[in-house]
Structure 1
Amino acid sequence: MKIAPALPFLIAAAVGAAGGALAARAVPGMPAGPVAGAAAGAAFAALARRRATSPGAGLTWGLAFAFLLWLVALAGGSDRAGAGLAPSGSMAMLDAARARFPELVAALVLLGAPLGLALGTLGALSRRAEGPRLAWARALVVGGLAGIAGGVAFGRWMAQAGFFPLVAGLVGSTSIAVGMTVHLVIAVVIGMSLGVLFQRDLRGFGSGMGWGLGYGILWWFVGPLTVMPLWLGRPLDWSWQRGAALFGSLVGHVVYGLLAGLLYAAVDRLWVGLFTGSDPIRREPEGPGLNLLRAVRWGAGASVAGGLLLDAALVAAGAMPARPGAFGESLAVSALLGAAYGLLFRDEAPDRGSAIAWGLVYGLVRWYLDPLTLAPILAGGTFSWTPAAASALLPALVGHLGFGVVTAEAFLALERRHAGWLLLDPRFAARAARRRRPSGTPAPALWVFALGTGVLLPILLG
């Protein structure tokens, strides 16, 4: 389908104008409106119209664009407020960010997401004959199964927090059983949409977790902060205080997205291998078992330096448990999670830049899953997804991000060293090239949005 060159700009300007008008109504005092929204839409079209090749790719670029737009506006509006001594300047920046939290929600929900979906849909129509087509049955079935698994995990916190009667209110009930049913239905629908939007982008287990992380965060902004109050007839409250009150729901959405993305990637790969990917002629240079063991060994070895860095950060922050053997236990956990990194992100990072980005994503994932969720359970207690708990663990967040980067860089060095001799054979070199994420894919936008919001929200809401 041939698209006129001016059409993406016209559509983006129209969608941006509508989003700007809605944002100005939803957030009084926000410097937005139809003209500002149209200008933002035209700017987004100029930057991303060739990269928004599908609704999922467009959505990812749109969210990254809206987040960066908010950061630029925040920096421009807080320079004067942050002048002075460093401590007071830092607190002034935090206060300014909290005061402008409603603008972040509006930028993502009313501007970035609609712009991305609109241009992505247009891009998909214009490139209908290019690339692989969306396998609808695979996306819906696999996405639905992944959504159920993520929904069950999220449901544990909802039961603990007493959220099911509130969810049941969406259909005019207060029954816990009805709330559980509605929650699972929503989880299935979101899982299906994950498959439809990102089937081409979830190229492996690690990227599945990354896209699940970003998609889960998006649905926290869309669901409990926006759609739920409107559905229940309540006024919108996009204040940071309301966000802090829903911090547990944020972590629940993150956990849902991580599990749904990981399971989607796993089941999708199994589906392709069983039904569409059989090719006995183009054999792998090494068996899958050997590749699996090598990834585990490399990941565990790569985690040594990252684990030492993490432990040093915990000791410096006074967050290392004061009990015998705590240091050794932490290194053992790091080795285990390093092995998991090898399994999840093998073939995901062909260069140092992407290794750093995926390492940061993995470190952020570990922080949400390990000290914030699993560690309290393994200690005989229960998880506490509260702003206070997140604030107490912020020093550990820095250490976990460092762990991810160092582990990813060390793993890349080991992977490159072994892959050198394989690439001498042109058949294997061609196969390795197909596994690489091509330029222009929305992975950089995912890194900006998922890492930016995933790190920023615990700081703002804590």
Structure 2
Amino acid sequence: MKGLSDGAIAGVAGGLVFGGSMALYGTLPTVASIVRTGSAAVGFTMHMLFAVIIGAAFGVIVAARREVVVWGLLYGAFWWFLGPLTLLPLFRGHPVTWDLPSAQGLVPSLIGHLCYGLTIAVTIKILRADIPDSRPPTAVLVRGGIAGGIAGLLSLLPDGFLIGAAAGVLYPVVFRERENTGPALVRGSVYGVLWWVFFSLTAEPLLMDLKLDWAQPPVDQLPGYILLGALTAVCYTWLGSLSRVLFVDDVRMFPVESPGSRGVRALGYGVVAGLAGGAVFTAVMVVVGVLPTVALMVGSQNPVVGLVVHLIISQIIGISYAVLFRRQSYDLISGMGWGMSYGFFWWVLGNLTLLPVLTGRPVDWSPAALAAGFPSLAGHLAYGAALGVVYHVLEARTNPWWQTRNAAEQTRVDTRRRHTLGSAPALWTLTVLIAVVIPALIPR
């Protein structure tokens, strides 16, 4: 009941935010057309009714979850698919068309739904914050600001340092759970998309021009914000680990297993999993004809050389996955989720950023470059799925030598519970949704 009431209150707040954006774009009569009227007042009334009901349902869904922001974003994106793309045409007597032009025409509605999802999530966080020490310590905020500033300098964004510092200060406010580097990187990538939506698309235009243009979003800035968020999360996690090493004396805060014994076998698994993902990705690269471009990294244009370079890179990424995501998957679905999220990150860092640099070309994040790189995005997602699944299968075959079988199973159950109560499933799903929606963000 507490979740239901909190969700209903949050739905009111989210409905007002979303309603404002709908009124700005003149879509309230579209909602009213469900009951065969074009009145904006009727449309707003129906919109607020839907907002409260949907918000109440969200409050029940996240009643036992600790991190709700990512779940809110996913919930907003889900209702964009279910609402404007599916149910609204049916209610208006129109056929459902899940095609690219329909999605492109509803990009403002997508951003409005994300605003709604974020608003209800933040409102629920505020309603839950009834303990005196709910605010992060000052040292944590300073650490976040330093991490964000470093990430901003590396993100290739204009004014990246200032934007990164602001994003870094807010990062520990939004995400309170401590994560290992791999999950933090995925969470940071989603955090970067959040900053792109709510700063680049919304706050900055309102502050500069006092108007919004969600119909033509600056998609060329999206890769930079993804890198900004991912690097902020990674730097924040590493700075926290460094502070614990230097300033914490409690031995219970440190892992029992030594780095040498816990890493060698995992690296071998990463090599095998990386080769498996690379084999899957090769089919896409052959169809697209990008192997000669990959060969340019070593001064050749031979497709066979490109294939060898591609498989070597696949193994290196597989090794990095083993380092960052060791013991983070508890079943095949979680392994696939982490792997696909990691593959998406490498599409931004590798295909869109490092590959042009290593082949002597300037970095190009233009809409045309993103459209041309979409086949590679599909290949990276397939690579990540195979990487995560194969790595989990290999890792699950061997229990740590110091644990009994029952203890290993308990560790797996604890990991599943921590991820489920946190935001891991929402992170995987939202990352895939972001990848699917990218073509709709590219101007026609």
**1:425, 1:96 → 2: CA distance?**
52
**1:135 Cα deviation (Å)?**
4.6
2:120 matches 1:119: no
Specify whether residues 429 and 355 from structure 1 end up closer, same or farther in structure 2 by C-alpha distance, changes over 3 A only: closer
2:350 matches 1:367: no
Given residue 121 of structure 2, which amino acid in structure 1 is its aligned partner? Answer: G
Given residue 119 of structure 1, which amino acid in structure 2 is its aligned partner? Answer: I
2:161 alignment counterpart: 184
Specify whether residues 251 and 78 from structure 1 end up closer, same or farther in structure 2 by C-alpha distance, changes over 3 A only: farther
2:199 matches 1:223: yes
2:44 matches 1:46: no
**2:271, 2:198 → 1: CA distance?**
38
1:238 alignment counterpart: 214
Specify whether residues 327 and 189 from structure 1 end up closer, same or farther in structure 2 by C-alpha distance, changes over 3 A only: same
1:95 alignment counterpart: 101
CA deviations 1:43-73 (Å, max 9, x no partner) are: 233334462668x822212111110000112
Q: Which blocks of at least 5 consecutive residues in structure 1 are unaligned?
A: 84-88, 159-179
Q: Which blocks of at least 5 consecutive residues in structure 2 are unaligned?
A: 32-42, 294-300
Contact 1:20-1:37 within 8 A present in 2 as well: no
2:47 alignment counterpart: 36
**1:272 Cα deviation (Å)?**
3.3
- Secondary structure of 1:383's partner? coil
2:373 alignment counterpart: 393
2:417 matches 1:416: no
Q: How does 1:8-27 map to 2 (within 5 A)?
A: 8-27=6-25
**1:363 Cα deviation (Å)?**
0.9
**1:456 Cα deviation (Å)?**
1.3
1:68 alignment counterpart: 78
1:441 alignment counterpart: 422
Specify whether residues 50 and 312 from structure 1 end up closer, same or farther in structure 2 by C-alpha distance, changes over 3 A only: closer
**1:238 Cα deviation (Å)?**
1.0
- Secondary structure of 1:439's partner? helix
Specify whether residues 282 and 24 from structure 1 end up closer, same or farther in structure 2 by C-alpha distance, changes over 3 A only: closer
**1:298 Cα deviation (Å)?**
1.6
**2:253, 2:188 → 1: CA distance?**
34
1:146 alignment counterpart: 147
**1:445 Cα deviation (Å)?**
2.0
TM-score by length of 2: 0.85
Q: Once the two structures are aligned, what percentage of the paired residues are identical?
A: 27
**1:12 Cα deviation (Å)?**
2.0
Specify whether residues 98 and 379 from structure 1 end up closer, same or farther in structure 2 by C-alpha distance, changes over 3 A only: same
1:349 alignment counterpart: 329
Structure 1 vs Structure 2 CA RMSD: 2.8
- Secondary structure of 2:233's partner? helix
- Secondary structure of 1:388's partner? helix
CA deviations 1:177-233 (Å, max 9, x no partner) are: xxx4xx523321211111221130x41111111111111111111112111111113
**1:352, 1:425 → 2: CA distance?**
19
**2:254, 2:193 → 1: CA distance?**
39
**1:317 Cα deviation (Å)?**
2.6
Given residue 316 of structure 1, which amino acid in structure 2 is its aligned partner? Answer: V
Given residue 184 of structure 1, which amino acid in structure 2 is its aligned partner? Answer: F
CA deviations 1:336-359 (Å, max 9, x no partner) are: 011111111112211111111111
**1:401, 1:121 → 2: CA distance?**
36
